[in-house]
Amino acid sequence: MSKRVLTTESGAPVADNQNSASAGVGGPLLLQDQHLLEKLARFNRERIPERVVHARGSGAYGYFEVTDDVTGFTRADFLSTVGRRTEVFLRFSTVADSLGGADAVRDPRGFAVKFYTEEGNYDLVGNNTPVFFIKDPIKFPDFIHSQKRDPFTGRQEPDSVWDFWAHAPEATHQVTWLMGDRGIPASYRHMNGYGSHTYQWTNAEGAAFFVKYHFKTNQGVRSLSAEQAAELAGKDPNSHQTDLLQAIERGVNPSWTLHVQIMPAAEAADYRFNPFDLTKVWPHRDYPLQRVGRLVLDRNPDNVFAEVEQAAFSPNNFVPGIGPSPDKMLQGRLFAYADAHRYRLGVNHTLLAVNAPKATTAQNYGRDGLMAANPQGRHAKNYEPNSYDGPVETGRPLSAPLAVTGHTGTHEAPLHTKDDDFYQAGELYRLMSQEERQRLVANIAGGLSQVSRDDVIEKNLAHFHAADPEYGKRVEEAVRALRED
């Protein structure tokens, strides 16, 4: 059987792939060696800008299967029939570190799901925590800057990390999550996923509901202690990637059960705290979990770069029956995520295989730009309306309109009767066992005791005291003990 012929990118056969062309034996190399120049030029361009956040990730394909009827709450077609399956791609990630970081670190985890529905791709971009550190996107660049490597030391600095949190009391709830027992998942398979934000569902009659997504792992939640994580990160920095890859290759397909909390839209205005505040959860006694379906991962990508690194998720990719809420952080991400992909991958990134619709065909008037690969024929027009049978609008919004009132300006979120930055952090602390509290306090004190400024330490301690007196007292005593050693 004859072997295939190696060619250049233009298709010309390559005579010698072992030796560069030179001016005589042992002489300098020749500029005319197109094969050498092409290989070196491509090699220099094999990397693209990494994500500013969520840079280190893993992913897999699978399906979502509807198990319960939710048609009373949404007209989304892929959720319309019990038993219906939709292909998905799920990308897991750490948040703060770079592409070269380790998997087993104390950090939130991204949990981004792309549903390849027959009405277009629906992207649900969430985390493994139901809350986040901030509630307004204008603070997001500052927050991430405080968590990234210091320009002088080249490492994450406790002074910057805790100084930002000292000035962001709303972060106390998420800090309690992060420093608790679930702060370092044992693997991507053994953690829950959350939409975190509040989204809107609209049913066939036009009634609107606000929802929160909860993906509960069917493998059980398992986490690592700080000591276990440090050891694992040193032995195998790719531990979570290795675990996910090998599990699926063995046929041990991880799965999650999707539940939602559902709030009738009319109840949002008078709810006791702002239901669109990303630093807060909705108590289950107010809005119980309702099961929707099952998500299963059963196929690994063939090429991590092409399908994981180039996967582009954007929370503004909605489908009919699902839309945004007034959640400020969500509103900011509707722009920021899509813009990040236009920068990293180009304006035609949705034509890449992992990002393109699979159950339908994208039909629009986008044309040209870097890496355009969508020729529409000599008679196609790239304007609308036209007289040439081009695609047309439906006239039916994807979701119900959101009511707005008042004057433009930089407003704080409207206050509800029970809005508070500390109560839910205290509730989370009081749910913990004594052993969990002890580990939480030790994790916080281990970082906070390294801060060089006393005033920054005092501001953070005040947040824990406000959440729960015992919580604050124990952290304060632990920090003092470590600083006196």
| pLDDT per residue as tens digits for the range 124-142 | 999 999 999 999 999 999 9
Known catalytic residue: 54?
Answer: yes
User: What is the mean pLDDT of the segment spanning 162-175?
Assistant: 97
Contact 311, 388 (CB under 8 A): no
* Confidence grade of residue 62 (pLDDT, cut at 50, 70, 90): very high
| pLDDT > 70 fraction of the chain, expressed in percent and rounded | 100
Contact 353, 116 (CB under 8 A): no
User: What is the mean pLDDT of the segment spanning 345-363?
Assistant: 91
Q: Ranked by mean pLDDT, which of 337-351, 361-375, 378-392, 457-471 comes out on top?
A: 457-471
Q: In Å, what is the CA distance from 108 to each residue of 195, 206, 271, 296, 314?
A: 13, 36, 28, 22, 19
Looking at residue 261, its amino acid is Q
Residue with tokens 């979120």: 413
* pLDDT of res. 195: 97
User: What is the mean pLDDT of the segment spanning 225-250?
Assistant: 97
Choosing from 35, 121, 127, 349, which is the catalytic residue? 127
User: What is the mean pLDDT of the segment spanning 443-457?
Assistant: 96
The Cα 393–Cα 60 span in angstroms is 34
What does the pLDDT look like over 388-414, one tens digit per residue?
888 888 888 888 888 888 888 888 887
Collapsing DSSP states into helix, strand and coil, what is residue 240? helix
Residue with tokens 């979502």: 64
pLDDT above 80: residue 99: yes
426-457 burial: b if 16+ Cβ within 10 Å, else e: bebbeebeeeebebbbbbbbebbbbbeeeebb
| pTM, full prediction | 0.94
Collapsing DSSP states into helix, strand and coil, what is residue 85? strand
Choosing from 35, 54, 173, 214, which is the catalytic residue? 54
Known catalytic residue: 214?
Answer: no
| DSSP β-bridge partners for residue 115 | 88, 122
* pLDDT of res. 461: 97
* pLDDT of res. 375: 67
- Which DSSP letter does residue 308 get? I
pLDDT above 80: residue 379: no
User: What is the mean pLDDT of the segment spanning 190-215?
Assistant: 97
* pLDDT of res. 391: 86
* pLDDT of res. 288: 98
* pLDDT of res. 419: 86
pLDDT above 70: residue 158: yes
pLDDT above 90: residue 373: no
The Cα 450–Cα 460 span in angstroms is 13
What does the pLDDT look like over 296-318, one tens digit per residue?
999 999 999 999 999 999 999 99
The Cα 144–Cα 133 span in angstroms is 10
* Confidence grade of residue 383 (pLDDT, cut at 50, 70, 90): confident
Collapsing DSSP states into helix, strand and coil, what is residue 248? helix
User: What is the mean pLDDT of the segment spanning 335-345?
Assistant: 94
pLDDT above 80: residue 378: no
Task: Give me the half-sphere count of Cα atoms (radius 13 Å) on the Cβ side of residue 311.
Answer: 30
The Cα 386–Cα 388 span in angstroms is 6
